[in-house]
């Protein structure tokens, strides 16, 4: 997910959606089991499953063959598996249309029954789409979306939004209908020292166990406050170490996720045209600070998801030096941390052959998609960093997003230069 302040306002365009099932004649063998990356928390009446979005990329695509490959990647706690050849034999297209303006730089949440949720927090746009038909099932627009949680077992969606200077919680049904609305006390937003949207983060957490209360986390400057009903005063307040200890003046939060006493904040820092991504993980189960600060190598871009109490951080580079990384260096492209303890569980590193490497990463439902532009290759990894497949790189007139890999089908969303969109379903069997 890109920081909100870096986003460009969308023009009102009607766009076309093409679904491209790529049928492959294959002899590929399955290389492992692929887990659903939903966070499950039992609430008062529903089983709450949280799926988060993957970050936007500017990736390009050439839909040709799937190549065999043995990996030369450098990895810690991750072992690559062999890949067997496969090649496409046909391409079919069906032209459909989106009913509203659509931009590829927004959150993507893969849901059960081939549904996909598109959320643009900055503009407040939200869509639910059917992957089988490409049709838009419903859509809404709000002033601003702070936080959202999909509850796939019930088909419900919880949104924390801004509505006429009020902080609201909405619960939507499977057809997009509003089931309930709750206005938080005005004192929650009134406690902020700066009301610019880029100056603070808000995230909602569902109850973890029966009888527990839902919570709201509000972060601004070097402080994060935890609230629960009746929402009058903070339950807990923490001073953030990343902002207190960092020497750079230009540092600010860009994203926060909160789930059942596990909280992760992403910061962007900069100095003399150099940039750094920083992550702070907190265990909010006690009143004292229990956290860990993780710094990403300079000039790498990064995003994260909070998944089953684990922080999934994936990094990429779309800039040439001096603002980007140099080749022949091992870069961390994927890390998985236990938020409660701060322990590093999995790390996947990669040595790029190009002197000025460019690559992107996408994460969804337990899979990481790495696109190495210089090697004209994409690699799909499981959540342990094990390589599952290699595919060819894509052409220069296309940007790409990973929707999911499920039942041996790779679902991709691509955008062409003329703002046509295609849903690509590529079998990997």
pLDDT tens, 176-230? 999 999 999 999 999 898 888 889 999 999 987 788 899 999 999 999 999 999 9
> Is a pLDDT exceeding 60 seen at residue 9?
no
pLDDT value for 400? 86
> Is a pLDDT exceeding 60 seen at residue 42?
no
Return the closest-CA partner of residue 155 out of 46, 1, 278: 46
Task: Give the DSSP letter string of 178-197.
Answer: EEEEEEPPHHHHHT-S---G
Give the count of beta carbons closer than 10 Å to the beta carbon of residue 22: 18
Distances in Å between the alpha carbon of 19 and those of 138, 146, 306, 380, 406? Answer: 18, 31, 30, 21, 17
What's the pLDDT band for 72 if we cut at 50, 70, 90?
very low
Place of tokens 């750094």: 276
First to last CA, the chain: 30
Q: What is the DSSP letter of 4?
A: G
pLDDT value for 220? 95
Query: What distance in Å separates the CA atoms of residue 415 and residue 429, rounded to the nearest whole number?
Result: 25
Distances in Å between the alpha carbon of 364 and those of 32, 221, 370? Answer: 16, 30, 12
Q: What is the DSSP letter of 90?
A: E
The DSSP bridge partners found for residue 139 are: 127
Query: What distance in Å separates the CA atoms of residue 66 and residue 180, rounded to the nearest whole number?
Result: 48
Q: Where are the alpha helices (DSSP H) in 299-375?
A: none
> Is a pLDDT exceeding 90 seen at residue 259?
yes
Query: What distance in Å separates the CA atoms of residue 348 and residue 124, rounded to the nearest whole number?
Result: 34
Residue 248 DSSP SS3: coil
Task: Name the least confident of 75-79, 202-206, 356-360, 393-397.
Answer: 75-79
Place of tokens 């407040």: 124
Alpha-carbon dihedral sign for residues 328, 295, 358, 20 = positive
Backbone angles phi, psi at 6, to 5 degrees: -95, -5
Task: Write the CB contacts of 65 (distance below 8 Å, at least 6 apart in sequence).
Answer: 86, 87, 88, 392
Both tokens of 11, joined, read 């023009």
pLDDT value for 40? 31
Task: Name the least confident of 116-130, 179-193, 341-355, 404-418.
Answer: 404-418
Domains in the chain (CATH in brackets) are 4-427 (2.130.10)
Query: What distance in Å separates the CA atoms of residue 257 and residue 203, rounded to the nearest whole number?
Result: 6
> Is a pLDDT exceeding 80 seen at residue 263?
yes
As a whole number, the mean pLDDT across the chain is 78
Query: What distance in Å separates the CA atoms of residue 149 and residue 40, rounded to the nearest whole number?
Result: 11
């Amino acid at each position: 997910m890109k920081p909100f302040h870096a986003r460009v306002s969308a023009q009102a365009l009607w766009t076309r959606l093409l679904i491209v099932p790529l049928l492959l004649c294959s002899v590929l063998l399955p290389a492992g089991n692929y887990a659903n990356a939903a966070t499950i928390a039992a609430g008062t009446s529903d089983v709450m499953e949280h799926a988060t979005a993957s970050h936007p990329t500017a990736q390009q695509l050439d839909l040709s063959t799937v190549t065999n490959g043995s990996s030369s990647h450098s990895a810690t706690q991750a072992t690559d598996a062999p890949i067997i050849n496969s090649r496409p034999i046909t391409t079919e297209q069906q032209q459909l249309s989106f009913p509203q303006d659509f931009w590829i730089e927004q959150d993507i949440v893969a849901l059960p029954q081939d549904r996909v949720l598109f959320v643009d927090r900055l503009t407040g746009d939200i869509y639910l789409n059917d992957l089988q038909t490409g049709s838009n099932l419903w859509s809404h627009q709000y002033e601003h979306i702070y936080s959202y949680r999909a509850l796939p077992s019930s088909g419900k969606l919880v949104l924390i939004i801004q509505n006429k200077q009020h902080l609201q919680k909405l619960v939507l049904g499977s057809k997009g209908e509003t089931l309930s609305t709750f206005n938080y006390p005005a004192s929650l937003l009134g406690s902020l020292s700066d009301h610019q949207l880029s100056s603070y983060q808000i995230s909602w957490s569902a109850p973890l166990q029966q009888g527990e209360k839902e919570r709201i986390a509000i972060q601004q400057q070097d402080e994060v406050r935890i609230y629960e009903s009746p929402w009058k005063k903070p339950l807990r307040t923490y001073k953030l170490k990343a902002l207190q200890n960092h020497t750079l003046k230009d540092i600010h939060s860009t994203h926060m996720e909160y789930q059942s006493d596990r909280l992760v904040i992403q910061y962007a820092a900069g100095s003399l045209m150099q940039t750094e991504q920083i992550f702070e993980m907190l265990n909010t189960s006690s009143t004292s600070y229990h956290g860990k600060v993780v710094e990403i190598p300079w000039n790498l871009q990064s995003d994260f998801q909070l998944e089953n109490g684990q922080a999934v951080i994936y990094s990429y580079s779309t800039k040439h030096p001096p603002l980007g990384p140099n080749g022949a260096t091992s870069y961390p492209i994927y890390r998985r941390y236990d938020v409660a303890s701060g322990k590093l569980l999995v790390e996947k590193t990669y040595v790029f052959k190009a002197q000025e490497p460019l690559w992107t990463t996408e994460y969804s439902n337990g899979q990481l998609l790495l696109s190495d532009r210089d090697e004209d290759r994409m690699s799909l990894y499981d959540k342990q960093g094990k390589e599952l497949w290699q595919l060819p790189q894509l052409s220069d007139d296309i940007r790409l997003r990973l929707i999911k890999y499920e039942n041996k089908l790779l679902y991709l969303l691509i955008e062409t230069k003329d703002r046509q969109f295609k849903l690509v379903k590529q079998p990997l069997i």
